[in-house]
Amino acid sequence: MAISVETFFLNPDAQGTLQAQIQEMIAAGILSGRFRAEEKLPSSRKLAAHLGVSRITVTLAYTELVANDYLTARGRSGFFVSGTAPVPPSFSPTEKGQETVDWAGTITRQFTGGDTPRKPKDWRSYRYPFIYGQADATLFDHANWRLCALRALGQKDFAAMTGDYFDQDDPLLIEYIARHTLPRRGIIARPEEILITLGAQNALWIVVQLLLQQGRKAAIEDPSYYTLRDQLGHTGCALDVIGVDSDGLPPEQIAADTDVIFTTPSHQSPTTATMPMARRKALLSRAKEIDAIVVEDDYEFEMSFRAPPSPALKSIDSDGRVIYLGSFSKSLFPGLRLGYLVGSEPFIRQARALRANVLRHPPGHIQRTVAYFLSLGHYDAQIRRMARVLQERRAVLEEAISSHGLIPANRSLYGGSSLWMQAPAHVDMGRAAEDLRANSVIIEPGAPFFSTETRRHNFYRLGYSSIASERIPQGVAHVAEAIRNARP
Amino acid sequence: MAISVETFFLNPDAQGTLQAQIQEMIAAGILSGRFRAEEKLPSSRKLAAHLGVSRITVTLAYTELVANDYLTARGRSGFFVSGTAPVPPSFSPTEKGQETVDWAGTITRQFTGGDTPRKPKDWRSYRYPFIYGQADATLFDHANWRLCALRALGQKDFAAMTGDYFDQDDPLLIEYIARHTLPRRGIIARPEEILITLGAQNALWIVVQLLLQQGRKAAIEDPSYYTLRDQLGHTGCALDVIGVDSDGLPPEQIAADTDVIFTTPSHQSPTTATMPMARRKALLSRAKEIDAIVVEDDYEFEMSFRAPPSPALKSIDSDGRVIYLGSFSKSLFPGLRLGYLVGSEPFIRQARALRANVLRHPPGHIQRTVAYFLSLGHYDAQIRRMARVLQERRAVLEEAISSHGLIPANRSLYGGSSLWMQAPAHVDMGRAAEDLRANSVIIEPGAPFFSTETRRHNFYRLGYSSIASERIPQGVAHVAEAIRNARP
Q: Is A142-377 a domain of CATH 3.40.640.10?
A: yes
Model confidence pLDDT, tens digit, residues A137-147: 888 899 999 99
Q: How far is CA B153 from the centre of its chain?
A: 22
Q: Contacts of residue B211 in chain A, CB cutoff 8 Å?
A: 106-108
Which class for B392: exposed (0-12), middle (13-18), buried (19 or more C-beta within 10 A)?
A: middle
Rounded to two decimals, the ipTM of the complex is: 0.88
Q: A294 pLDDT band (50/70/90 cuts)?
A: very high
**B192 touches A: beta carbon within 8 Å:** no
Best mutation target, A119, A153, A209, A386, to test chain B (most B CBs within 10 A): A153
Contact B93 A333 (CB under 8 A): no
Query: At a CB cut-off of 8 Å and minimum separation 6, what does A402 contact?
Result: none
Q: What is the mean pLDDT of residues A251-265?
A: 97
User: Cα–Cα distance between A165 and B14 in angstroms, integer?
Assistant: 21
Interface-testing mutation among B30, B68, B384, with chain A (most A C-beta atoms within 10 A): B68
CATH classification (class only), A5-81: mainly alpha
**CB atoms B318 and A97 under 8 Å:** yes
Higher pLDDT, A121 or B269: B269
Query: What distance in Å separates residue B242's CA from the closest CA in chain A?
Result: 22
Please, which pLDDT band fits residue B307 given cuts at 50, 70 and 90? confident
In order, the DSSP letters of A322-375 are: EEEEEESTTTS-GGG--EEEE--HHHHHHHHHHHHHHHSSS-HHHHHHHHHHHH
Angle at A199 between CA A198 and CA A200, to 5 degrees: 130
Residue of A100, A156, A346 lying closest to B103 (CB–CB)? A346
Strand order in the sheet with B418-422: B407-408, B418-422, B459-463, B444-445
Kindly report the average pLDDT of chain B as a whole number.
90
pLDDT band (50, 70, 90) for residue B271: very high
For the beta carbon of residue A468, count every other beta carbon within 10 angstroms.
Answer: 16
Given an 8 Å threshold on Cβ–Cβ distance, is B337 in contact with A101? no
A217/B contact by beta carbon, under 8 A: no
Partner A contacted by B105 (CB < 8 A): no
Inform me whether the pLDDT recorded for B449 exceeds 70. yes
- State whether B135 and A349 contact (CB < 8 Å): no
Hey, are the CB atoms on B135 and A163 less than 8 Å from each other?
A: yes
Each residue's pLDDT tens digit, A200-210: 999 999 999 99
Contact criterion met (CB < 8 Å) for A15 and B156: yes
Select the residue of B94, B166, B216 nearest A318 (Cβ to Cβ). B94
Q: What is residue B94's predicted lDDT score, i.e. its pLDDT?
A: 63
- The neighbour count for residue A35, using CB atoms within 10 Å, is 24
What DSSP string runs through B305-365?
-SSPPPPPGGGG-SSS-EEEEEESTTTS-GGG--EEEE--HHHHHHHHHHHHHHHSSS-HH
How distant is the Cα of B426 from the closest Cα of chain A, in angstroms?
31
Of A68, A160, A320, the CB nearest to B381: A68
Find the mean pLDDT for residues A351-364.
Answer: 94
Residue A93's pLDDT band, with cuts at 50, 70 and 90, is low
Q: What are the backbone dihedrals phi and psi of residue B248, each rounded to the nearest 5 degrees, phi first?
A: 95, -150
Tell whether B316 is within 8 A of chain A (Cβ). Answer: yes
- Residue in A with minimal Cα distance to B94: A316
Cβ burial of A365 (10 Å; 0-12, 13-18, 19+) is buried
Structural element, H or E, at residue A61: helix A55-67
Within 10 angstroms of residue B436's Cβ, the number of other Cβ atoms is 23
Q: What are phi and psi of B391, to 5 degrees?
A: -60, -45
Contact A155, A163 (CB under 8 A): no
A197 phi, psi to nearest 5 deg: -125, 170
The dotted CATH code for B123-133+381-484 is: 3.90.1150.10
For the structural domain made of B142-376, what CATH number should be given? 3.40.640.10
| Residue A33 zone, left/alpha/beta (φ > 0; ψ -120 to 50; rest) | left
For A21-35, A471-485, B413-427, B465-479, which range has the lowest pLDDT when averaged over its residues? A21-35
A151 with B20: Cβ contact below 8 A: yes
- Average pLDDT of chain A is 90
Chain A residue closest in CA terms to B316: A94
Query: Which of A201, A210, A359 is facing B109, going by the closest CB pair?
Result: A210
> Beta strands B260-263 and B217-222: pairing type?
parallel
Average pLDDT over residues B69-81: 89
Exposed/middle/buried for residue A217 (C-beta within 10 Å: 0-12, 13-18, 19+): middle
DSSP string covering B190-246, please? Answer: -GGGEEEESSHHHHHHHHHHHH--TT-EEEEEES--HHHHHHHHHHT-EEEEEE-BT
Residue B92: per-residue pLDDT: 61
- Is residue A20 within a helix (H) or strand (E), and if so which, with residue range? helix A18-31
CB-CB contact of B444 with B271 (8 Å): no
Tell me the shortest Cα–Cα distance from A421 to chain B, in angstroms. Answer: 24
Q: Closest approach of chain A CAs to the CA of B95, in angstroms?
A: 7
Give the separation between CA A452 and CA B317, rounded to whole angstroms.
42
Contact B83, B40 (CB under 8 A): no
What's the rounded mean pLDDT across residues B303-318?
A: 84
> Smallest CA–CA separation between A333 and chain B, in Å?
5
Domain residue extents for chain A: 5-81, 123-133+381-485, 142-377
Supply the pLDDT for residue A301.
80
Which of B140, B153, B164 is the best mutation test for A, with the most CBs of A within 10 A?
A: B164
Q: Exposed/middle/buried for B127, CB within 10 Å: 0-12, 13-18, 19+?
A: middle
Q: What is the pLDDT of residue B100?
A: 83
Q: Which residues in chain A touch residue B109, judged by CB atoms under 8 angstroms apart?
A: 209-210, 213, 350, 354
d(CA A4, CA A23): 16
Cβ atoms B440, B128 nearer than 8 A? yes
Q: Which of A23, A70, A90, A109 to mutate to test the interface with B (most CBs of B within 10 A)?
A: A109
- % of chain B residues with pLDDT over 90: 60
Q: What residues of chain B lie within 8 A of the CB of A20, using their CB?
A: 151, 372, 376
Question: For residue B125, how many other CB atoms are within 10 A of its CB?
Answer: 9
User: A89 pLDDT band (50/70/90 cuts)?
Assistant: low
Question: What percent of chain A is predicted at pLDDT more than 90?
Answer: 60
- Would you call B149 and A153 a contact, using CB atoms and an 8 Å cutoff? yes
Residue B27 to chain A, least CA–CA distance (Å): 5
Q: Does residue A247 register a pLDDT over 70?
A: yes
Q: pLDDT of A368-426, one tens digit each?
A: 999 999 988 899 888 888 989 999 999 999 999 999 999 999 877 778 899 999 999 99
Contact (CB, 8 A) for A123 and A129:
yes
Q: Which of B110, B202, B358 sits opposite A205 (nearest CB)?
A: B358
Cα Rg for chain A, rounded, in angstroms? 27
The listed range with the strongest mean pLDDT (A115-119, B16-20, B256-260) is B256-260
Nearest-Cα distance to chain A for B190, in Å, is 12
Specify the range with the lowest mean pLDDT, choosing from A90-94, A116-120, A373-377, B306-310: A90-94
pLDDT value of position A331: 79
Quick one: what percent of chain A has pLDDT higher than 70?
97
Chain B CB contacts of A88 below 8 Å: 183-184
> Binning pLDDT at 50, 70 and 90, where does residue A163 land?
confident
Give pLDDT, residue A155: 84
Inspect the interface and report whether the beta carbons of B381 and A103 lie closer than 8 Å.
Answer: no
Does residue B310 contact residue B277 with C-beta atoms inside 8 Å? Answer: yes
CB contact under 8 A, B333 and A31: no
Distance from CA of B226 to the nearest CA of A (A): 11
Fold of A123-133+381-485: Aspartate Aminotransferase, domain 1 (3.90.1150)
Residue A6, pLDDT above cutoff 90: no
Q: Point out the residue among A70, A97, A180 whose CB comes nearest to the CB of B32.
A: A180
Radius of gyration of chain B (CA): 27
Angstrom distance (rounded) from CA B54 to CA B76: 20
pLDDT at B411 > cutoff 80: no
Q: Does the pLDDT of residue A339 top 70, yes or no? A: yes
B349 at A interface, C-beta within 8 A: yes
The C-alpha atoms of residue B130 and residue B463 are separated, in whole angstroms, by: 5
Contact flag B109-A209 (C-beta cutoff 8 Å) = yes
Mean pLDDT within A83-89: 76
d(CA A346, CA B274) in angstroms, rounded, equals 42
Of A7-16, B12-21, B60-69, B215-224, highest mean pLDDT: B215-224
* Interchain CB contact of A95 with B (< 8 Å): yes
Least confident of B105-114, B200-209, B275-284, B465-474: B105-114
| Positive or negative: CA dihedral A184, A188, A191, A196 | negative
- A364-375 vs B364-375: helix crossing angle, rounded to 10: 120
Q: Quick check: A366 and B361 CB within 8 A?
A: no
How many A×B Cβ pairs under 8 Å?
A: 395
Average the pLDDT over each of A53-57, B76-80, B83-87 and give the range with the smallest value: B83-87
Query: Nearest residue on chain A to B335, judged by CA atoms?
Result: A162
Q: Running DSSP on this structure, what letter comes out for residue A466?
A: S
DSSP state of A157: G
How distant, in Å, are the alpha carbons of A23, B200, B291 from that of A107?
43, 20, 13
Distance from the first to the final alpha carbon of chain A: 74
Spatial separation of the C-alpha atoms in residues B78 and A5, rounded to whole Å: 62
- Note which residues in 234-253 of chain B have CB less than 8 A from chain A: 234
Backbone angles phi, psi at A232, to 5 degrees: -65, -40
User: Distance between CA atoms of B24 and B16, rounded to whole angstroms?
Assistant: 10
Select the highest-mean-pLDDT range: A24-33, B131-140, B288-297. Answer: B288-297
CB within 8 Å of chain B, chain A residues 133-162: 133-135, 137, 140, 142, 144-146, 149-151, 153, 155-162
Summarised one tens digit per residue, pLDDT across range B80-130 is: 998 888 777 656 666 667 788 888 889 988 888 888 888 888 899 999 999
Judge if the upstream peptide bond of residue B86 is cis by omega within 30 degrees of 0. no
Closest chain A residue to the Cα of B82, Cα to Cα: A381
